[in-house]
Amino acid sequence: MAKSKIIVLLFTLIITITLISGCNSSNTLLLLNWGEYINDEVVEKFEDKYNCVVNISIADSNELFYSKIKSGTTVYDLVVPSDYMVQKMVENNLLEKLDFSKLPNYSQDNLLPGVKRISKLMNESSRNEIDYTQYFVPYFWGTWGLMYNKNKQGLEDSLNQYGWQAYFDRSLLPSGTTVGMYNSIMHSYAAVMCSENLPLNEEKDEYISLCYDKFKAMHFDEWGTDTMKKSIAAGNLDLAFVWTGDCLDMLYSTLDDGTPIDEVSFDIYIPEKTIAFMDNLVMTKNARHKDLAYQFINFMLETENAKENASVVGYCTPYVSSYNAIVGYEGEEQWDNDWKYAVSKYYPYYEDESLYKGTPLSFFSKKYMTDMTNMINNVKTS
Amino acid sequence: MEEKKYEVATLQEYGYKDYHVMQTIFKIFGRILVALIVFMLYFSIFIIFLQSINSSKSVTSFGHVTFKWYLEMFSNRQMRLAIQHTLIISISATLLSTVLGTIIAVGINSLEKKKKQRILLLNNIPLLNADIVTGISLMLVFSCLLPIFPYLFGWKTLLIAHMFFTLPYVILSVLPKLREIDPNLLDAALDLGVKPRRALWKVIVPAVKAGIFSGALLAFTMSFDDFVVSYYTTGNGFDNLSIWIYGSIGRNSLTPAVYSFSTMITLITFLFLVIVHLFQSKMVKKNGKK
Amino acid sequence: MNDSYKKLAKPYEIWLYIFALFPALVMFALIFLDTEGINLSEASLTFGNFSQLTESSTIIAFVNSLKFAFLSTLICAILGYFVAYRLFRSKFKNKFLILTILILPMWSNILLRIEALGNVMQPNNIITDILSKIGIHIGIDIKGTSVAVLIGLVFTYLPFMILPIYTALEKIDPSLEEASLDLGVTHLKTFWKVIFPLSIKGIVTGSIMVFLPCLSGFAIPEILGSGNIVLIGNVIDQFFRNMNYNIGALLALLILILILGAIFLVQKVDKEGETLL
């Protein structure tokens, strides 16, 4: 008796699962995104408006985006890779050329000068004369910087005086400064290239040995990722190379706790030469729901939606209209005023493109990546 | 003749040593150490609990006590879905692996030695292989089926993958218990005309119950917290909680609602255990009186 | 046992061939190739991947892994035996309950647990914050050291040591101990000569269960070692992460073969074999 009960139970279970997840209808948009990188409310608004389901999967690195798309285990409609990964995907013929006539909300003029500049840099670094702008719509963008602990005596001054040089030279820092490096091969490599004013996209063995020497001499206290911003805010770490958005994210949650803006214990120094990045909405070649995908991109381009979407993410919206809506806020709401303050301070607007800081990364050959991996491991194990 | 007077020998002189004091010290010391170790096992859970009732999003400073994150757990759509998926997959994978694993273990147990060793060696692979290799391997196999079933990836592949690495745990928990069964017991049942299938259910399963339970528990534990294998074998948006956590931690702060979920799972299980235990000991007492 | 049960194992054998053996062979092939991910269309034959094995960081990472795995197994064995023995001696006889209580912490995400542990290993953390509110100022700073990693490894995998030892102790016939005590052997000697030898099997099983995840894991050393401690698991993870499946597979298979060899040896020594739990 009991046995048949279990079998019945199992069957019910399987059927329930099928019912719950059996929704691969034509009205489902498959989006592959970074974690917590979209405002659920905006998504729900879109779902209501177009009577569809937006199915979001997440990944935490551009390389994982690539392997997910390449393996084809799921045919995603939209993906949000960064600049260099867009280049790689285009070159490997994974992306669909966008039909901008289906995106009435899109206009070149509505892009911030800084965004246009990154697109331009992407095209300039192209090895095959491809116009990448045909393939993507900017989603968010930002820079990297040196986040530091304001309570550490003398640290702010030495950063302002020496900039990058201070980050790689302990003698220029106040004694006892703890320094962290972002634990990502490409980003730590780029940090050295930026500090030495070298190109980010060339592969040379001497660059790798330069990195080795720099890392070795510096002997970083921590090779971390997201934990570093928390450590700096708590005073456990003094200086680290992180996303500017990371610092803002920390800033917003500190302000949420009721700390006045001038008592925040950390800040970020953005050097003249740094990494800039731009995440973009792109459509995969094999996308099954192209119309819905166009509607989605178009929806996200609407000023109000883009602004609402940016409110949950510490990065900068790429659209002029949304940007102006944020920095032009005139009201009493504390949160909106803090937001306005942070965006206008850390993502300032310049009419002149050349005033914007930052260079996008570019992808490297497999051999070069292996060499870099070994170089960093050699630093850590020696 | 003068009688020589001998002193009465003490116990010590017979070689008796009083260990009572030492034993007490050892006992007390032991209790403290055990308490300390169990505390350390739960230490991280305790910190997670603190973070879950912290009004500040920061994991390093404490604002005031709040329960708002417990509510957010249900309002954060992505997280709610991820929790649902995790529960569906780990519960069904545990049930299936427990039932199938027990049956398979019975099969393996009745094999000849050589064949048995071969299966068991293969059975070790999912346990010992680096997770990432298991994940990519399974993805590879499932990908072969993609041309026929374009929407294959998702709960189906995830369920199979989880069964793949939980089955060995169940099998390895049940097998040693099977070997302890008195073979006469089964023979007696079969001689009495019980069909093998029924004998499996009526004789073998009750005898290895303890093994099945611990196997199921291990299977659930492994499945519930798996990230790497799940990551490579899922698709079409069927992410579980671990995938969601790993993905969310990268560029943003994690919402403390995750800590609430962890705390809640621990507390609910704990309560459940206490109730079961009290219930059982009551039953034992009642039966004892009769 | 009954022959009609033999066929029950057959489907599982096929299942293992499909999901374990076939991919293992593909992984083996990847070692000799230069591919992009698992995309075999532009593969070229090479032996260059093997040069990774002579890279000093790989060797050091491997030695580090062995060192950490060995030390944590040793500490787990000592602490685990102690706890298992006390549990065995206590009046608490509900094994399922003990099992669940020990394993329950593992139902919280490992990343969350390790980060929580890592947080309190820094001088300013949530506990010092609460304590400082009532006037106590203490704090430790061990994050980034080997000690931190060891603490993380030991208290994550300790349950896997306690459970098999407890099971082994439970199986010992109580009359053996009584006999020994009746014959005038002291408690301590009884433990050494009777109980301990009979529970060694549990220690062996537990050691395997602790040693393996310590050897190949990467999350714990990465977080608690502040990224400065590199174990072989980290190296494997890095290569797979950056789409170099060839070197990743090479290192992973190397470890797998070593482990399988060790298991094979254990099976040779332990005639009954497969004693995991």
Residue B47, C-beta contacts closer than 8 angstroms, at least 6 positions apart: C116, C117, C119, C120, C126, C127
* Stretch B228-239: mean pLDDT: 86
Residue window 152-211, chain B: list those with CB within 8 Å of chain A: 153-155, 159, 201
Answer whether B137 sits within 8 Å of C248, measured CB to CB: no
In a domain, residue B38? The reply is yes
* Separation between Cα atoms, residue B225 and residue A168, nearest integer Å: 39
Chain A's closest residue to C234, CA to CA, is A377
Residue A201, C-beta contacts closer than 8 angstroms, at least 6 positions apart: A125, A361, A362
In a domain, residue B192? The reply is yes
Amino acid identity, position A161: Q
List of domains in chain A = 27-141+278-342 (3.40.190.10), 143-275+360-381 (3.40.190.10)
Q: Same domain for B45 and B87? A: no
In a domain, residue C21? The reply is no
CA angle C240, B90, A37 (to 5 degrees): 55
- State which residues form the domain around C195: 57-239
* Separation between Cα atoms, residue C249 and residue B134, nearest integer Å: 11
In a domain, residue C157? The reply is yes
B77 touches chain A (CB under 8 A): yes
Per-position pLDDT tens, chain A of length 382: 455 566 666 666 666 555 555 445 578 899 999 888 888 889 999 999 999 989 888 888 898 899 888 888 888 999 999 999 999 999 888 999 999 999 999 988 889 998 999 998 888 887 777 888 889 999 999 999 999 999 988 888 898 898 888 999 888 889 889 999 998 899 999 999 999 988 888 888 999 999 999 999 988 999 988 888 888 988 889 999 998 888 888 888 888 888 888 888 999 999 988 999 999 999 998 888 889 999 999 999 998 999 999 888 878 999 999 999 998 888 888 888 888 888 888 888 888 888 888 888 888 888 899 999 999 999 998 8
Burial code (b: 16+ CB inside 10 Å, e: under 16) for A293-308 equals: bbbbbbbbbbbebbbb
Query: Cα-flanking dihedrals φ and ψ of residue A109, to 5°?
Result: -70, -25
Q: SS3 helix, strand, coil % of chain A, rounded to 5?
A: 50, 15, 35
In a domain, residue C142? The reply is yes
* Separation between Cα atoms, residue A230 and residue C82, nearest integer Å: 38
Higher model confidence: residue A357 or residue B11? Answer: A357
Reported as a single tens digit per residue, the pLDDT across C250-261 is 998 888 888 788
Residue matched to tokens 């551009």: A62
Bridge partner list, A31: A56, A78
Reported as a single tens digit per residue, the pLDDT across C157-214 is 999 899 888 888 888 888 888 888 888 777 778 888 888 888 888 888 888 888 888 8
In a domain, residue C131? The reply is yes
Query: Cβ atoms within 10 A of the Cβ of B12, count?
Result: 9
A35 touches chain B (CB under 8 A): yes
Answer whether C230 sits within 8 Å of A380, measured CB to CB: yes
In a domain, residue B60? The reply is no
In a domain, residue C250? The reply is no
Residue matched to tokens 């050291």: C145
- State which residues form the domain around B199: 76-261
Q: How many CA atoms lie within 13 A of B90 on its CB side?
A: 24
**Out of C37, C226, C247, whose CB is closest to A370?**
C247
Q: Same domain for B37 and B103? A: no
In a domain, residue B247? The reply is yes
- The residue of B133, B213, B261 whose CB has the most chain C CBs within 10 angstroms, and thus the best one to mutate to test that interface, is B133
Tally of structural domains, chain B: 2
What is the CATH number for C64?
1.10.3720.10
Tally of structural domains, chain C: 1
In a domain, residue B63? The reply is no
In a domain, residue C103? The reply is yes
What is the CATH number for B189?
1.10.3720.10
In a domain, residue B234? The reply is yes
Answer whether C238 sits within 8 Å of A183, measured CB to CB: no
A243 touches chain B (CB under 8 A): yes
Tokens in use for C217?
A: 């894991």
Residues of C in contact with A373 (CB under 8 A): 235, 238-239, 242, 244
Q: Same domain for B24 and B97? A: no
